[in-house]
Amino acid sequence: MFDDTIENNIVLYNNYDSKVVDDAISKSGLRKLVDSLPKREKSLVGENGSNLSGGEKQRIAIARALIKNTPILILDEATSSLDNENAYNIENSILSLDELTCLVVTHKLNEEILSKYDKIIVLKNGQVEEIGKFDELISNQGYFYSLYNIAGTNIKKLMAE
């Protein structure tokens, strides 16, 4: 993060139409934050983003990637610092974009999101263990199935506490 505005941290000092910047802010989940600030996207983030949470920094990085409008987007744990609701909303927004190939590395096993992917590639010890759509991987009851069930069990335990 540069000690500059939210906008400049997104556009990286390139010229973009304000509508394009606004669209990237919305799709990355920054809308609520930006709207809550007196100077909106012109608000300063502080040195190394000191005025922002880890999740807000991640959303700026996502907006930075989205604004480039590339045909391929690679996200490596891009929503790891976000709560489940914000992570869901951002991934859902990204997956709704037409003409975008998205490669996502994640440990979040949300059925609603994972069901939207064309393919899921499951790695075990750095090797491809399984490939398929969510429903296929669940019905095969392989490694992905066991990971998914472990994650679900842990969530149920947390909710019971």
For the whole model, what pTM was predicted? 0.72
Work out the average pLDDT over 17-22: 95
How far apart are the C-alpha atoms of 56 and 148, rounded to whole Å? Answer: 28
What 93-97 contacts at long range (C-beta under 8 Å, 24+ apart), as own/partner pairs, is: 93/26, 93/27, 93/28, 93/29, 94/27, 94/62, 94/66, 97/27
pLDDT of the residue at 88: 82
Q: What is the pLDDT of residues 131-152, one digit of tens each?
A: 999 999 999 999 999 989 887 6
Query: How many degrees, rounded to 5, is the angle at CA 129 between CA 128 and CA 133?
Result: 95
pLDDT of the residue at 158: 41
Question: Beta strand pairing status for 127-132 and 120-124?
Answer: antiparallel
Q: What is the pLDDT of residues 48-76, one digit of tens each?
A: 888 988 888 888 988 998 899 888 988 88
Greater model confidence, 29 or 11: 11
pLDDT of the residue at 134: 94
Q: What is the pLDDT of residues 30-47, one digit of tens each?
A: 999 999 999 999 999 989
Q: What is the pLDDT of residues 91-125, one digit of tens each?
A: 887 888 778 888 888 877 888 889 989 999 999 99
- Answer positive or negative: Cα dihedral of 119, 84, 9, 22: positive
